[in-house]
Amino acid sequence: MHHNLKAIPESFKPLWDGKLTHQNRYGDRPFAEGDTVTFHEGNIVAGTFTPTGRTISAEISCITKYALLSGWVGLSLKRIGLTPTADFLEAPHGL
């Protein structure tokens, strides 16, 4: 399954720069190991998410709930920067 996720610049830039290989996210989706994700960078202006147009995709390699607040999950990522395919661009879990 593929997930499209919003990301503010402060959390997007370390992924883009290759310095970050994980994300803590609210577990409001059925994340699973092997799923792919595309992070869409954007700014929040007047309470509205405004995309910048930059995206980066990856594969979820591990999911943990260790030492996180209730409802949150830690996503370990691999293959960061993978090229999206038509199959997962039409994913049911959009922005």
- Give the sign of the dihedral formed by CA 79, CA 25, CA 1, CA 37: negative
Q: How far apart are CA 18 and CA 40, in angstroms?
A: 16
pLDDT tier at 59, thresholds 50, 70, 90: very high
Is 25 a residue whose pLDDT tops 70?
yes
- Using a pLDDT cut of 90, give the percent of the chain over it: 74
Q: Supply the pLDDT for residue 11.
A: 92
Over residues 29-49, the mean pLDDT reads: 94
